[in-house]
A and B are shown apart, each in its own frame.
Chain A
Amino acid sequence: MALREFCSRMGASLSQDARSLSLRPAWPAQQQCRRLATTAADPDIETEASLNSTGPDEELVKNYDPIARARSRRRQLPSSRYKFRSPRYYRGPLHPHQPPPPTDPSSREFVPGPFSLPRLEQTWESTIAPDLLTLNYQHAPPGMEIVAKARGLRPWVGDNPYFKNRVPRPPRGGMFLPARKPITFRNVPRLREITVHSMVGQAMEDSGYLHVAGMAVQAITNKRAQVHEAKESVQNWGVKKGRPVSVTVDLQGEDMYHFLAKVVEVVFPRIRDFKGIKGTSGDSYGNITFGLTPEEVAMFPEIEVNYDMYPAKMIPGAHVTIKTSAVTDRDARMLLRSMGVPFYGKLVD
């Protein structure tokens, strides 16, 4: 206590001196006196946390009308010329007019959101993640270390004595399959991204197909579709290089959870004789793809609500790729199963 008083007096006297010299102290004395957890807070600084403070008084709240206040203003506020506007072009880090970060609403790149806390995300946090953690727990006795080996490495087999302890050969096809580390609370598999992709071959003759595909994909995913041109000409499919053939949408975060929930809870149950997703699906990196036929795409509630507005037989099919943070397909499939996606047939891990 005595020390604190000393500090504040020192600070006061220093600042007085500084004021008389019209200089500011380079190192405020207050800063050097650290408050300990056991000593009381300085009442001048931490009177009350802003969260605990009471709001404005009732009179002010009742009479507050921002619109009326703006209209009753005699002199208008300075016009937009005097306000900050984000530069239209980025002119480099040394230019004095720098754009604000994209999270700032005044930025030209600002995208609002999120608008809700998706149910599937909450389920993952409250139920699925703890369960996956329990199911995948791998016990290592104290002193033991679980070594995560890279997958698919081929040992050297032969009579050569120098094959012993030689570094194994990489997998066939130049793939690199990352090691599967034990699942801990840090790396429980979760959804990373969902890509909805629709290739429309008929777009070569009639671009209307591509427009309909774009609208349909935009409707079911809640995001603007991106058009892609063909990289190569394919004679059999009638695809010509450089012509637009497909639309994709990458979904992350809120949109991703809403989309998967819609697929699992609305579309899958409506599909006739639905068995699930093929067990062989997956790229062995933890990403799983399945297809939706045009009839199945039409089952999305967003398309069903104005089905008549889509030209007949122009609704496209789509490929849906679910990218997870899991490294193996087995873990990715376990995550998707817990979210309600069924699998059938032979499971390839």
Chain B
Amino acid sequence: MNSGPRSARRLASQAGYWPVKETRCRSCHEPTFSILRHAYSAAAASTPTAAEPQAPPSPTSTTDPTAPVTQRPLPKEYAVRAGVVLSRAPLITRDLHDFEKAFFLYQRRLNERLAMPFTTNFYFKRGTPAHLDWKRKARERLTPAHDVGRYTPYGEEGWNDEVLVGAKESEPDAQVEALVREAEDTKLDGEGEGQEAKKKVVVERPQPRVTEADRQGNTRSLNRQLQRTLYLMVKNEEGEWKFPERRMFRAESLREAAEHILGEAAGIDMNTWFLGNHPIGHYERKYKESFYNAHRQSEELGEKTFYMKTRIMAGQANLQGNKLGLSDFQWLSKDEIEQTVPRWYWKAVRNMLPDR
């Protein structure tokens, strides 16, 4: 997305701040770049002339006072890791707070008191069955509005617009139920009460907001917690629940690494959308003891993990034959993640997850 003229590297290079070709991050680049190169060149220069077999340099040997003076200290580095925050967006609106429900009902009733009368003649032709049906129902509920309960806005007792303790009028479920009951009560065919020729109208009720997976506590289903954003959490070899993540290889960019990780961890049975090329969050962790990385010939102090954001559009995670040694997965909301992951991990990742 931002790899064009507006990218950070371009900006920095224009200011003479950063060499364009450099592919390492700035913090790695500045303090250790020259040292690293010297270490390599020193090693390359010393290899053909050295008679004695070369012992692998270790961080302890660099601080050892008895070590030869010519040996350069090892470059100190952090392991760069990439992770994927794969999320399913909320599918339905959230439950309203009790205060919101009460407030909305109160405002609707106020509106009934203040609004102009409903122009019945504009919506129903006089004398038609629809008109008669409307009049009958409006008489029952005392007001043209369907979602304010039984309430007389214009009468002597219009001031009584506040519901009593425990009343159900402000509950959305009760309002839907009243609407459905009213719709099923339609008598368009025969207006007479004696005629039972009218057809029974069956109105489809809205789908439940709590699903089967919610009731069973099936955290692997994507059909749970419809009001919340769900995140894919996996159980790694150490038995910790985390986002899918692993160390990055040198040849891949962060975005590529994230795409690879998702394939390696949860399979290819998902339609996903990676949002941009930038990470949404990162954390740094220092190891208790640094160790020697033979591959990079460096002393590794800790790890830095960068998370890429992804949305799942279709499909489901499949851990069969994954390359990261994962044993289980769950789709969890933010609150559930807090309960599941280690404390330090929660503190590291909580700020990149939206509240809902």
Chain A residues at the B interface, C-beta cutoff of 8 Å:
55-56, 61, 64, 66-67, 70, 105, 110, 112-117, 119, 122-123, 125-127, 130-131, 134-144, 146, 215, 305-306, 308-309
In Å, the complex CA distance between A126 and B164 comes to 33
B356: chain A residues within 8 A (beta carbon): 125-126
6 A-B residue pairs with Cβ-Cβ distance under 8 Å, sorted by A, are A112-B110, A112-B114, A123-B89, A138-B6, A138-B8, A141-B26
A116: chain B residues within 8 A (beta carbon): 104
| A137 with B276, Cβ < 8 A, contacts A125-B356, A126-B90 known | yes
CB within 8 A of B8: which of A55, A105, A119, A140? A140
Interface residues of B in 1-54 (CB under 8 A from A): 1-2, 6-8, 11-12, 15, 17-18, 26
In Å, the complex CA distance between A117 and B101 comes to 10
Query: In whole Å, how far is A279's beta carbon from the nearest beta carbon of chain B?
Result: 19
B311: chain A residues within 8 A (beta carbon): 131
CB within 8 A of B275: which of A56, A126, A135, A142? A135
Query: In whole Å, how far is B98's beta carbon from the nearest beta carbon of chain A?
Result: 11
Query: In whole Å, how far is A84's beta carbon from the nearest beta carbon of chain B?
Result: 15
Query: In whole Å, how far is A53's beta carbon from the nearest beta carbon of chain B?
Result: 14
1/0 contact string of B223-243 vs chain A (CB within 8 Å)? 000000100000000000000
Is A305 a contact of B275 with CB atoms below 8 Å? Answer: no
Instruction: Count contacts on B: residues with CB < 8 A to the other chain.
Output: 41
Query: In whole Å, how far is B203's beta carbon from the nearest beta carbon of chain A?
Result: 16
CB within 8 A of B93: which of A66, A122, A142? A122
A117: chain B residues within 8 A (beta carbon): 93, 96, 100, 104
- Besides the contacts A116-B104, A215-B122, what 9 more A-B pairs have beta carbons closer than 8 Å? A67-B157, A113-B107, A122-B90, A127-B229, A134-B280, A139-B2, A143-B17, A144-B17, A309-B125
1/0 contact string of B152-193 vs chain A (CB within 8 Å)? 000001001000111000000000000000000000000000
| A126 with B229, Cβ < 8 A, contacts A139-B8, A306-B123 known | yes
Query: In whole Å, how far is B73's beta carbon from the nearest beta carbon of chain A?
Result: 26
Chain B residues at the A interface, C-beta cutoff of 8 Å:
1-2, 6-8, 11-12, 15, 17-18, 26, 89-90, 93-94, 96, 100, 104, 107-108, 110-111, 114, 122-125, 157, 160, 164-166, 229, 275-276, 278, 280, 309, 311, 354, 356
Is B89 a contact of A126 with CB atoms below 8 Å? Answer: yes
A110: chain B residues within 8 A (beta carbon): 114
Q: Closest residue of chain A to B114, judged by CB?
A: A112
Is B90 a contact of A115 with CB atoms below 8 Å? Answer: no
In Å, the complex CA distance between A114 and B108 comes to 8
In Å, the complex CA distance between A134 and B276 comes to 7
Query: In whole Å, how far is B119's beta carbon from the nearest beta carbon of chain A?
Result: 10
Query: In whole Å, how far is B181's beta carbon from the nearest beta carbon of chain A?
Result: 20
A139: chain B residues within 8 A (beta carbon): 2, 7-8, 278
Is A309 a contact of B90 with CB atoms below 8 Å? Answer: no
Is B17 a contact of A141 with CB atoms below 8 Å? Answer: yes
In Å, the complex CA distance between A330 and B280 comes to 22
In Å, the complex CA distance between A213 and B40 comes to 80
Q: Closest residue of chain A to B8, judged by CB?
A: A139
Is B354 a contact of A134 with CB atoms below 8 Å? Answer: no
Is A146 a contact of B11 with CB atoms below 8 Å? Answer: yes
Query: In whole Å, how far is A55's beta carbon from the nearest beta carbon of chain B?
Result: 6
Query: In whole Å, how far is B307's beta carbon from the nearest beta carbon of chain A?
Result: 11
Q: Closest residue of chain A to B99, judged by CB?
A: A51
Is A144 a contact of B11 with CB atoms below 8 Å? Answer: yes
The 3 A-B residue pairs with the shortest CB-CB distance in the complex, in nearest-first order: A139-B8, A112-B111, A112-B110
Query: In whole Å, how far is A194's beta carbon from the nearest beta carbon of chain B?
Result: 21
CB within 8 A of A115: which of B11, B108, B123, B276? B108
In Å, the complex CA distance between A135 and B12 comes to 20
In Å, the complex CA distance between A116 and B107 comes to 10
Query: In whole Å, how far is B232's beta carbon from the nearest beta carbon of chain A?
Result: 17
CB within 8 A of A127: which of B8, B89, B96, B111? B89
Give the most central of B7, B114, B157, B165: most A CB within 10 Å: B165
Is B110 a contact of A105 with CB atoms below 8 Å? Answer: yes
In Å, the complex CA distance between A308 and B354 comes to 48
CB within 8 A of A144: which of B15, B108, B111, B164? B15
In Å, the complex CA distance between A208 and B354 comes to 52
Query: In whole Å, how far is A120's beta carbon from the nearest beta carbon of chain B?
Result: 10
Is B11 a contact of A140 with CB atoms below 8 Å? Answer: yes
Is A138 a contact of B2 with CB atoms below 8 Å? Answer: yes
Is A66 a contact of B160 with CB atoms below 8 Å? Answer: yes
A55: chain B residues within 8 A (beta carbon): 165
Query: In whole Å, how far is B135's beta carbon from the nearest beta carbon of chain A?
Result: 16
Is B12 a contact of A144 with CB atoms below 8 Å? Answer: yes
Query: In whole Å, how far is A142's beta carbon from the nearest beta carbon of chain B?
Result: 8
B157: chain A residues within 8 A (beta carbon): 67, 70
